[in-house]
Amino acid sequence: MSKIHPTSIVGPHVKLAASVEIGPFCVLTGHVEIGAHCRLLSHVVIGDEATKTVIGEKNVFHSGAVLGGAPQDLTYKGEKTELHIGDRNTIREFVTVNAGTPKGGGITRIGSDNLLMAYVHIAHDCQIGNHVVIANSSQFAGHVEIHDHAKISGVCLFNQFVVVGRHAYITGDSAVNKDVPPFCIAQGKYAVVRAANEIGMERSGIPKEDIENVRRAVRILTKSKLTLDESLQRIDTECKPCPSLNEFIAFIKSPDRKRGLAL
């Protein structure tokens, strides 16, 4: 049976795995499902009467976190939308994550093995991958996508529909209004790609030859003063194909680009 502190409130539609621990002064309301070995430390609010929140296993929620609330969107009219959270996430103090909206697919998603530090805000319909680190006070508008292993420094701001690629690194106090390709470091107001994330790639086990190819491609794209098409032609000529480079090029060529590239 779940361990629930007597000062906490758990609504009638909440489903808890037997090993869930709920600390003092927590409120769980609406349609909420929480998997095994999750811990709510204190003053955590999960759910809303108009939303559904589904949480996996072994997540830890620190004091003041508010999850699964209605989206902060003027077009939202109380439709049944959802928040899905995976496994083994650490959600620190006063993090807020809103449920989705019908126009954005209806589901906000947080993957697994992520760290969201204090005061992070994840708005409606965002899609956060796995092994992502988001530092204190970074704020994400609706429909943002953060791919696996991305690292977001503190006090960063993200416009709607921005996409950040895998293993990208956003430096602190950046404002991101365009898409950041995978394996890149971006910085500034507004952020632009500055270099390849060589250290992040090395730590992830990517071969040195592949790192060098991506580094060369990023340099051509950012320093050559060529058009995008001309840069891609030069990359095709000078860089040896490899999985990381192919992923980098595919991201740049994607027809789904809504915000443009941070170049």
164-176 pLDDT per residue, tens = 999 999 999 999 9
Look up residue 235 and give its amino acid: I
Local confidence band at 217 (pLDDT 50, 70, 90 cut-offs): very high
pTM: 0.96
3-state secondary structure of 213: helix
The active-site residue, picked from 124, 143, 147, 167, is 124
The confidence score (pLDDT) of residue 51 equals 96
Other C-beta atoms closer than 10 Å to the C-beta of 52 total 21
- From CA 178, how far away is CA 258, in angstroms rounded? 8
The confidence score (pLDDT) of residue 213 equals 96
Other C-beta atoms closer than 10 Å to the C-beta of 73 total 18
Element (H, E) at 202: helix 198-203
Q: Residues 39-50: what's their mean pLDDT?
A: 97
The confidence score (pLDDT) of residue 66 equals 98
pLDDT at residue 1 greater than cutoff 90: no
Q: Residues 59-79: what's their mean pLDDT?
A: 97
> Among all chains, which residue has been given the structure tokens 């490899």?
242
Active-site annotation holds for 124: yes
> Among all chains, which residue has been given the structure tokens 């629930």?
4
The active-site residue, picked from 125, 148, 179, 210, is 125
The confidence score (pLDDT) of residue 131 equals 98
Local confidence band at 2 (pLDDT 50, 70, 90 cut-offs): confident
Class of domain 3-143: mainly beta
Active-site annotation holds for 229: no
Starting at the edge strand found earlier in the chain, the sheet holding 60-61 runs 3-4, 21-22, 39-40, 60-61, 90-91, 115-116, 133-134, 151-152, 169-170, 184-188, 191-196
Q: Tokens for 67, please give them.
A: 């999850």
CB 146 within 8 A of CB 207: no
- From CA 62, how far away is CA 248, in angstroms rounded? 36
pLDDT, tens only, 241-260: 999 999 999 999 999 889 99
Q: Residues 10-24: what's their mean pLDDT?
A: 97
pLDDT, tens only, 220-243: 999 999 999 999 999 999 999 999
- From CA 262, how far away is CA 227, in angstroms rounded? 14
As a whole-number percent, the residues of the chain with pLDDT over 70 amount to 100
CB 94 within 8 A of CB 76: no
Look up residue 255 and give its amino acid: P
Which CATH number among 1.20.1180.10, 3.50.50.60, 2.60.40.420, 2.60.40.10 corresponds to the domain 202-253? 1.20.1180.10
Other C-beta atoms closer than 10 Å to the C-beta of 49 total 11
The active-site residue, picked from 30, 68, 86, 142, is 142
CA distances, 229 to each of 105, 134, 185, 236, 255 (Å)? 33, 33, 21, 11, 14
Per domain, the residue ranges of the chain are 3-143, 202-253
3-state secondary structure of 261: strand
Q: Tokens for 64, please give them.
A: 């003041």
pLDDT at residue 53 greater than cutoff 80: yes
- From CA 40, how far away is CA 56, in angstroms rounded? 13
Local confidence band at 186 (pLDDT 50, 70, 90 cut-offs): very high
Q: Residues 79-87: what's their mean pLDDT?
A: 97
